[in-house]
């Protein structure tokens, strides 16, 4: 039996008049985006009372989002709109599941003026066609409890992983929990960040590109946090709770959680974000995280397709993007949101501006090619777990084994 849900905080679905056109929508990370979607649908329904939005049960993460949609394509139960990780769009395009948005865009009178600039659209362009509109963009950043750092004698925010290790040793010596690196965040994102920070793409010629000194250095940066920071093996959610409770000095993860920390912080300690640490210096590039709204409807009804397009357009418009910025830590990819609606927002919210300042570093967040792409993601995570849980110390050896296994899958 199909399971359709409104948002958890909703008393009922947002419904229009009796003859309203209904569309089904799916998105990931309910804990982050539930309030965002509630506000977006509230504004959308006021402008489009003839369209009813019903949300599917939220996807756990971007891998789950893609797996779910691939299964639904086989069962012919696809939602009309699906929000997919930027690194997972290609597989839905290759399988013919995502429908091109170009015919709808061609009907818009002034699409560029609405904030949909070329750089934004490029994130969802494949073989010259536009298959999604970016909804939210993120970069990895550092989260700091400045009170704990100062109490341990740490001056300022660390800018490299060597400086993180030095800070951790002081914090641990002060009897406190030092740091958490969100190593298993979706899509091997922070491993890719460690590679990109050295200017190295994760995939080259269809293969995992780690048979180089930078590949070993990327793994060693993870081992540094595990070893020198005595990092606890907890989930990202538990680490986030510890940080918000003032029990963890540093956390390295997506900017998406800034609003969560602001809303759940316990105590009067100084919460500050900072640029993501680099390996031996400032990062040369960082992978673009986030997701895009894609048209996955199988309907042949022009009214349903037009309703789905109107929702995609509104969610990614200046109004929708501004809601994303206010309710999360994500960066709105829409120019109107950033330049007009949020003109003074970042001056009042400097912790959310950290990711914005890293926008010039944005690079591709790779999905592994071929039918085994999701399996490759899991295989890499298994190897990283050997560092976090098993205490693996031979990084060149672990790198060689991981590269061999992943490239066997990709072949």
- Interval 227-236: pLDDT, tens: 999 999 999 9
Query: Residue 343: its pLDDT value, please?
Result: 81
CATH 3.40.190.10 maps onto the chain at 21-137+289-363, 140-287+368-410
Supply 350's token pair. Answer: 């400097």
Nearest to 186 by CA among 306, 116, 88, 114: 88
**Distance in angstroms (rounded) separating the CA atoms of residues 285 and 361:** 4
Mean pLDDT, all residues of the chain: 92
**Cβ count within 10 A of residue 96:** 8
The pLDDT tens digits for 96-111 are 999 999 999 999 988 8
Give mean pLDDT, residues 245-249: 97
What pTM value is reported for the model? 0.87
Query: Residue 15: its pLDDT value, please?
Result: 47
> What does DSSP say about strands 140-145 and 248-254: parallel, antiparallel, or unpaired?
antiparallel
Query: Residue 18: its pLDDT value, please?
Result: 55
What CATH number was assigned to the domain covering residues 21-137+289-363?
3.40.190.10
Give mean pLDDT, residues 110-139: 88
Query: Residue 61: its pLDDT value, please?
Result: 93
Q: Are 138 and 255 in contact (CB under 8 A)?
A: yes
What CATH number was assigned to the domain covering residues 140-287+368-410?
3.40.190.10
Which contacts qualify for 63-71: CB closer than 8 Å, 24 or more apart?
Answer: 63/88, 63/186, 63/187, 63/374, 63/377, 64/28, 65/26, 65/27, 65/28, 65/291, 66/91, 66/92, 66/374, 67/374, 68/26, 69/26, 69/97, 69/296, 70/95, 70/97
Nearest to 17 by CA among 42, 45, 54: 45
Sign of the C-alpha dihedral computed for residues 168, 172, 174 and 178 taken in this order: positive
């Amino acid at each position: 039996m199909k399971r359709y849900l409104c948002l958890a905080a909703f008393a009922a679905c947002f419904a229009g008049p009796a003859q309203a056109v209904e569309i089904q929508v799916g998105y990931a990370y309910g804990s982050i985006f539930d309030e965002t979607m509630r506000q977006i649908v509230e504004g959308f329904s006021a402008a489009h009372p003839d369209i009813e939005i019903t949300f599917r049960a939220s996807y756990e993460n971007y891998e789950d989002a893609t797996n779910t949609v691939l299964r639904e394509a086989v069962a012919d139960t696809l939602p009309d709109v699906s929000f997919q990780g930027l690194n997972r769009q290609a597989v839905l395009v290759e399988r013919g599941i995502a429908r091109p948005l170009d015919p709808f865009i061609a009907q818009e009178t002034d699409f560029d003026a609405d904030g949909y600039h070329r750089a934004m659209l490029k994130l969802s362009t494949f073989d010259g066609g536009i298959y999604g509109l970016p909804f939210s963009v993120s970069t990895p950043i550092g989260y700091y409890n400045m009170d704990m750092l100062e109490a341990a004698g740490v001056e300022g925010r660390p800018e490299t992983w060597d400086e993180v290790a030095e800070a951790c040793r002081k914090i641990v010596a002060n009897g406190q929990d030092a740091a958490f690196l969100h190593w298993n965040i979706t899509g091997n994102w922070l491993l890719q960040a460690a590679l990109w920070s050295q200017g190295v793409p994760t995939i080259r010629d269809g293969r995992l590109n780690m048979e180089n000194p930078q590949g070993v250095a990327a793994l060693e940066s993870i081992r540094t946090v595990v070893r020198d920071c005595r990092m606890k093996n907890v989930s990202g959610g538990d680490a986030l709770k510890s940080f918000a409770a003032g029990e963890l000095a540093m956390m390295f993860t997506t900017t998406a959680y800034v609003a969560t920390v602001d809303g759940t912080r316990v105590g009067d300690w100084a919460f500050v974000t900072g640029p993501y640490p680099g390996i031996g210096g400032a990062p040369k590039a960082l992978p673009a995280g986030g997701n895009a709204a894609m048209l996955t409807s199988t309907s042949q009804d022009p009214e349903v397709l037009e309703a789905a397009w109107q929702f995609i357009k509104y969610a990614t418009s200046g109004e929708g993007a501004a809601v994303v910025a206010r309710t999360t830590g994500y960066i709105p990819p829409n120019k109107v949101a950033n330049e007009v609606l949020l003109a003074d927002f970042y001056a009042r919210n400097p912790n959310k501006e950290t990711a914005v300042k890293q926008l010039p570093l944005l690079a591709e967040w790779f999905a592994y090619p071929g039918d085994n792409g999701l399996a490759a993601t899991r295989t890499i995570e298994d190897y990283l777990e050997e560092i976090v849980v098993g205490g693996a110390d031979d990084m060149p050896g672990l790198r060689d084994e991981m590269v061999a296994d992943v490239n066997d899958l990709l072949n």
